[in-house]
Structure formats: C-alpha cells, structure tokens
Structure 1
Amino acid sequence: MKGRTIILDHLDGREAAALMVDGQLDDFLIESDAPAPGTIYRARADRPVKGQGGMFLSTPDGSAFLRQVKGLAPGQLLLVQATGYAEPGKAIPVTQKLLFKSRYAIITPDAPGLNLSRSIRDDAERDRLLEIAHDTMGDAPFGLILRSSCAGAGEDDVAEDIARMAGLASEVLNDFGTETETLLDGDGPHALAWRDWTDPAEIVTSAQGFSDHGVLDAIAAAGGAAEPLAGGGRMFIEPTRALIAVDVNTGPDSSLAAGVKANLACAKALPRALRVRGLGGQITLDLAPMPKKDRRSFETALRAAFRADSEETALVGWTPLGHYELQRRRGRTPLAGILA
C-alpha cells in the first residue's frame, strides 16, 4: 500500500502510534512506565560525582544525573528536563537547558532570539513566519525556533502554537515551589505523533487500527533479531547490557562486491530498524568484509541515512578491529522490554 498512514491505537493496554510508509512500518512509539523524555522536574541536588563533573539529583521519579555541573551545591533546587530513558538500574539523564517543543514552535528559555528552520528557504515564507513570530512573542524574554512544519501552515495555527508554548514556559519557570515536583510530563505517543510526524498522511484512529493496517505483524517481525536487507543480505540486531551489536551478512550473494552492497544496504536500513525497536546507546557494527577503500562510501551512505532520523546519533568511527561505532540517544523505550 503506497503512501503514509499514521495509526493511533493501543497495544497491550498502552497508548501507541505507528507510522506506515508504503506498507512498511517506518516508526513506532509506545507508552512506557518510565518518565518520558521532555518531563520537567523541580529537582534537588543530592551528591556530586568527583572526577566526572556531574551531580546526582533527587526527583519524584527517583534519582537523576546531571552532567557538566558548575556552582551547584547539595540541597539546592533547580529545574531540569529528562533527555532520554535511563538504562536499567541507572539514573534518569537530565539537562538544565529546557525546551518546550510543539508541532510548530520550540520555546528556548536559555537562548533568546527568533530563529527559523534552515529547511525553510523561500524568502517570502520566512518573512511571513518571522512576522507571525514577532507579533505573537511580543516582549517575551524567551527564545523561539519555528520548525520546518511551519512552511505553508496557517497563520492562526502557528500563532496559537507559539502562544501556547510561551505560556507553558512562563508557567513552569515561574513555579517557585520548595519541594521536588514534576512540573510537566513528557508527551505520550499520540502527542508525539502529532508533534513530529508532520508530513501529509492519512490518520487512522479507529479501533483495531493496528490489526487492519499490518502494524501487529510488523511489530512481531521487529521483535526478532533478523532484519532483511535489499539484495538478499541480512543484519542481526542484538541488544546486550553493554551495547547493541549489529552483524551484517551478505546472504546468498557470492560476488566480489557482495560485502560492499550488503554494508550499503545496512547503512540505509539501520535508522528505521533502530527506531522501530526503540534502541539507543552504544552501537557496534560488525560489517561484511569489504576493501578499506570502500569505507568512505559506506560512511557517506550512513551519514545521509541518519541525517533524516529523528533521534540524535553520533557517528563515532572505526575501531582497530574494523568495526564501526555509533552513539545514539536513548529517546525511546526498547520495544522488547515493553512487550516481553
């Protein structure tokens, strides 16, 4: 089935959202028991970590860890925002750089100024959006980023979104409580789908939507390690406690270029496979054999694939053993842990 379809449904009693592109599951979000990224806390500094420049904090949801701390004393209250899901047994990763993010607008309290997404290139459209931003923000002390989804959007829709996020930011920042507290919950799957899946798509909200559109079968396939690649190869994605191992096999192809073709297919398919499985952290690729002269073309393909991905991923580089390493933000909860 051609085209984009967004299905909003529930799976095992949990809110979930699926994005199908040309009949293939391209993205999947599911509610977790853990606090969602974007959650804002009034936290209390607990104890510093010597040698790492970090501080453990107390929150209503348990311990959190803040990196690159300066001038923060134990017992001090501060506002922080969850940046991802915690690894099992570890503290929630948080930052002091708060973002209030919606479909069209991102309010940046610590970075004043009005900015537009660089993907909006039309001068007339940029002028139109900047005028809306100036009129709506007025003399508000916050910064604003207008997202790429603003292009072509109605003036009232953009202005309403900006005003709502600016009001929310003001409410949170002016909450001067004296105890640890959750001030804002992170967005759930349905809200995230509305916020981030902005390209034109059919929206399905009916009961049994996952079953009717093949989402359940795609989820079952993603529960296994094997991921088919174009050209007949396969990659096996296996999370361990320390890292995520990805093994690339050429399959039945025995030609001299089999390794290069399988590795390029892996580069193209890997972001979607990680998104659907909800995987992040350290990732090590055990690629199919290929000449060193082809490494640059592989890196170029990998960089292009992750450029369009929704989760921040750093391409770290090659190891002495010839593996390729990545570091990916844990912005989703692992699908296997939810459905186990």
Structure 2
Amino acid sequence: MPKQIVIAEQHRTAAVFSEDQIQELIVATGSHQVGDIYVGTVENVLSGIDAAFINIGDSERNGFMHVSDLGPLKLKRAPGPITELVAPKQKVLVQIMKEPTGNKGPRLTGKITLPGRYLVLMPYGRGVNLSRRIRNEAERHRLRALGILTKPPGMGLLVRTEAESVSEEAIIEDLEALQKRWEMVQQEAMATRPPALLNRDDDFIQRVLRDVYNADVNRIVTDSDIGMQRVKQHLSSWSDGRLPAGVLVDHHRTESPPILEYFRVNAAIREALKPRVDLPSGGYIIIEPTEALTVIDVNSGSFTRSATARETVLWTNCEAAAEIARQLRLRNVAGVIVVDFIDMESRRDQMQVLEHFGKALQADKARPQISQLSELGLVELTRKRQGQNIYELFSCPCSACGGLGHLVQLPGESSVEVQQSVVTSRAVPIPNSMRVARQERSDGLDSAHSINSLDLINHPDYQDKSNGRSRRRRRL
C-alpha cells in the first residue's frame, strides 16, 4: 500500500500517510528522549521495590531503573538483592527506554542498544537475532550466517526487517558505523563527569527515514530545500549511490500555509485530541484515557439501515476495529487497553471481529497483544510504550477544571462564584506549545474503510445516515 512521509524538521515532527490518512506521528521533543545515552550516578537504592534512582542531570526528578534492567551495571554476577548489585554514588552508563510521564522520571536501562538502518548493535548482548517479519527461510539463513561472521566479539546483533534482500556490503557498512558510534560513546563516558548526555539522534531526518522508510513509500516531502537534499543523500547511501526508483523527494515550496497546515497534520492532531471518532457508515467510537488504562467504546450511532440488526452490529464492529487500530498508532496509546464492542450474540461474529482486529494491528510496530473476549464481552489488549502519547505531547490540563472535565459547585455556592473562579483560573498563563488542544475545530482528514469480507457491502444504503436515535445493544 503506497505511503507518503511529510517531515517538518523545524518542529521535529513527521507524519506517515496512507490512503490520505495519517497513520503515524513521529515527534522528537523534550529534554529526555527514548534512546538517549547518559552517564549518571546512583542516588538511591531501594530494596523494597528492587530499583535504583539515577541522577542524569534533571533537577526535578531522577531516572528509575529496575533490577531486571541493570545488565552490565551489576557489581557482581551472582544473584542477590539490588543493594548488593549497585551502590550509591556509583558511576553508570544508562539509556532511556521510556520517556518521563507526569511526576515519574524516565525509565532507564543498562542494556544499551544502538539502532542502525539494517542492524541494532547490542554492546552487552549475546548472539544474533532476526526480525520475525523476515519470513523467507533462505533469507533468514543468509542473514543469520552473515551476522555470526561479522558480529563483534562479546556483543549481540539484531537484524532488522529492512535488511531483507540487502547486499552484504551495505549491512557490513552499517555495522561498522554502529561500532564507531559505540567507541565514541565509551570514550566520552570515560572522559566526562556525570551527569551528562553522551549520545542522541540529533539528525531528525535520518531518524525518521531509518524508522519508517520502506519499499511502500513513494513520496517524501520536507519543509526546506536543505532537508530535501539530506533525504536524497540518505536514500542514495542506502541504495548503492542512487535514489530508489519510484520515490519522489520534494520540499514544501510556500511559506503560507506552513507544511503542517498544508498537509492537514495539525488538523488531524486536533481531531485526535478529541474523544469521539466518527466512522464512515455513521457509527462512532469514544476513546477515554485514564491513569490505569485506556477505554474505547463502540456505538452504532446513526447507522441503523442494514437488513438486520445483526448486520448493523457486525458491520459497525468491523469498521470500528480498523479505525481503532489506526487511532492506537496515531495517538501512540500504550499500556492496557479495553475495547467495548457492540454486543454480539453469535460466536462466529465475535471471532470474525477479533480476526479483523488482529489483521488491522499487524502493521503496528509496538506489537499489541490481544486477549480473547472476556466474559463481559470486552476485548483486552496491551501495547508497548514507545515515547510520549499525543495527549502528553500536544495538550495540558484545563486551567479551569484541572482536567476533570467539569466544574465543582458545592451546596451554598452560587453559579456566579463558580464563574468567578473560572475567570480567575483562566488568568494562569499557558505555554504556546500547549495551546493546540484549545484551538477551534478544523476539518479532519477524510476516512473510508472497505470491509470486503462482509456481505454488508452488497447493501447500497449502508452509508446513508438517518436521524434516528443511536442504537446500542447491551446485555441486561
């Protein structure tokens, strides 16, 4: 399926499009980013939670490292309590594996990894591992043999999906670049006084291309001519000195509107910050993040004109499954997710929806793990955290209600007093970068899904929207 990449390097934001819809956002902002390598010092060691807190230069909060993530930082190899494995004031080399959220500091690990275009170097790892997406057995044997022959002693390698059908010379060149990068990190770690940042992916364009570019991409647009030249340079270096065939590389040539407005990226972000997502047939889903998990509810809305109620429910659930998979990637929702599909009495229909949901999630690099339907008819799944979600990046709690979604009016308080408190709270200044959640609604990207496996496609009026009441079937 053809894809396009829009890169706004000035804002360190990129978007991946497919079928005129944004499938994924890449944002690299903040003082602590996933993949950053620091030299720090151990501040506290708490045996009660088997964790250590590491000072990496943040005056407000320390980094958190669990005993299972210590890796080479252990003072002894024998198993034991964490108080015997690390010591206060110990100098450590760590990498951020999860960005800070709320009052929590970043999650750290001593098992450092360095990603390249075709390989991931694991300086403290062992063996050669291959991406599960490489399915050709002959290719797997070739890449595994190459990895074993070229792997640096005492280190580990992960062969990425992009290495499939790539020449040995290109893979070896990628490995040599990663080795040089690791040597520089070691040298700086020896010469630098902690806490300090040692390594970060500062080349945003290279990072975007490394993580999302593949053979399906047919167009890349940047926000500057210099950025366009760097895209061509990176692509040529990965393709024997010439641009890949069938890929158009261009830059946004007008300053007004800006690139994120022209390609409606900002409009899509504004829509993604809202809980309601409308489906093409008239149904809708509600996405509500909470502290513990994210809840998604599916409703048939105005789509009630199928031949039978069963067809209405089945079509809406399958359509919602595809949209939920896209929203999880777009919003970068992580952790525990519970989806309340419209109740289905037929076990066959339930399995069909689960199968459709599973196929829609296959393109997600965060590898969501789906559980079966619970006794209450809920679908439970987990999704690995990969950076900050869209709410953390582009919104902040309302200054009037504090994020509650409503104002409190206690007995004896008049509505005038409540309004005065709102006016007072609104006087609190809000950073410009966080105001996107309060801007007026813009037209989002058009969405359309086709579920060819269902007989409902034969109903010509399934897209007609009636003005009837929302139809939602629930167990009594």
Coarse TM-score class (shorter-chain normalised): 0.7 to 0.9
1:143 corresponds to which residue? 156
Q: Residues of 2 paired with 1:308 and 1:334: CA distance?
A: 18
2:30 corresponds to which residue? 33
With 140-149 and 69-78 compared, the bigger mean Cα shift is at 69-78
Q: Residues of 2 paired with 1:48 and 1:231: CA distance?
A: 55
Q: Residues of 2 paired with 1:275 and 1:188: CA distance?
A: 23
Task: Name whichever structure is richer in strand by fraction.
Answer: 1
1:102 aligns with 2:116: yes
For the 8 Å contact 1:41–1:81, the answer to whether it is kept is: yes
Distance apart, 1:25 and its partner CA: 0.7
Which among 274, 278, 286 is matched to residue 328 of structure 2?
A: 274
- Supply the AA of the counterpart residue of 2:324: L
Distance apart, 1:277 and its partner CA: 1.9
Write the deviation string for residues 232-274 of structure 1: whole angstroms up to 9, x where unpaired. Answer: 3211222234432212112223412433433333332223212
> Which has the higher relative contact order, 1 or 2, with Cα contacts under 8 A spaced 6 or more apart?
1
Distance apart, 1:149 and its partner CA: 0.7
State the superposition RMSD in angstroms: 2.9
1:45 aligns with 2:52: no
For the 8 Å contact 1:133–1:162, the answer to whether it is kept is: no
Q: Residues of 2 paired with 1:8 and 1:243: CA distance?
A: 31
With 127-136 and 232-241 compared, the bigger mean Cα shift is at 127-136
Matched ranges for 1:1-340 at <5 A: 3-10=2-9, 14-61=11-58, 62-69=61-68, 70=82, 71-122=85-136, 125-126=139-140, 129=143, 133=147, 136-137=150-151, 139-173=152-186, 175-176=189-190, 177-186=192-201, 189-200=204-215, 201=217, 202-205=219-222, 206-207=251-252, 208-229=258-279, 231-254=281-304, 255-291=309-345, 293=347, 294-315=349-370, 321-339=376-394, 340=434
Q: 1:312 to 1:171 in 2, by over 3 A?
A: farther
Distance apart, 1:337 and its partner CA: 3.8
2:232 corresponds to which residue? none
Q: 1:281 to 1:86 in 2, by over 3 A?
A: farther
Q: 1:303 to 1:51 in 2, by over 3 A?
A: farther
Total equivalences in the alignment:
336
For the 8 Å contact 1:6–1:204, the answer to whether it is kept is: yes
Q: Residues of 2 paired with 1:130 and 1:320: CA distance?
A: 44
Q: Secondary structure at the match of 2:54?
A: strand
Q: Secondary structure at the match of 1:224?
A: coil
Q: Residues of 1 paired with 2:371 and 2:202: CA distance?
A: 30
- Supply the AA of the counterpart residue of 1:40: I
Q: Secondary structure at the match of 2:34?
A: coil
Relative to the length of structure 1, the TM-score reads 0.85
Q: 1:260 to 1:46 in 2, by over 3 A?
A: farther
- Supply the AA of the counterpart residue of 1:289: D
Distance apart, 1:204 and its partner CA: 0.9
Q: 1:283 to 1:127 in 2, by over 3 A?
A: closer
Write the deviation string for residues 82-121 of structure 1: whole angstroms up to 9, x where unpaired. Answer: 1122221112112222111122110012322234334334
Q: Secondary structure at the match of 1:163?
A: helix
Q: 1:261 to 1:335 in 2, by over 3 A?
A: same
Relative to the length of structure 2, the TM-score reads 0.63
Asked which structure has the greater CA Rg, the reply is: 2
Gaps of 5+ in 1: none
Q: Secondary structure at the match of 2:339?
A: strand
Q: Secondary structure at the match of 2:328?
A: helix
With 226-235 and 242-251 compared, the bigger mean Cα shift is at 226-235
For the 8 Å contact 1:56–1:66, the answer to whether it is kept is: yes
Q: Residues of 2 paired with 1:307 and 1:51: CA distance?
A: 39
With 47-56 and 102-111 compared, the bigger mean Cα shift is at 47-56
Gaps of 5+ in 2: 69-81, 223-250, 253-257, 395-433, 435-476
Write the deviation string for residues 20-56 of structure 1: whole angstroms up to 9, x where unpaired. Answer: 1121111111232241111122232222344432222
Q: Residues of 1 paired with 2:279 and 2:364: CA distance?
A: 18
For the 8 Å contact 1:17–1:29, the answer to whether it is kept is: yes
Q: Secondary structure at the match of 1:86?
A: coil
Q: Secondary structure at the match of 1:256?
A: helix
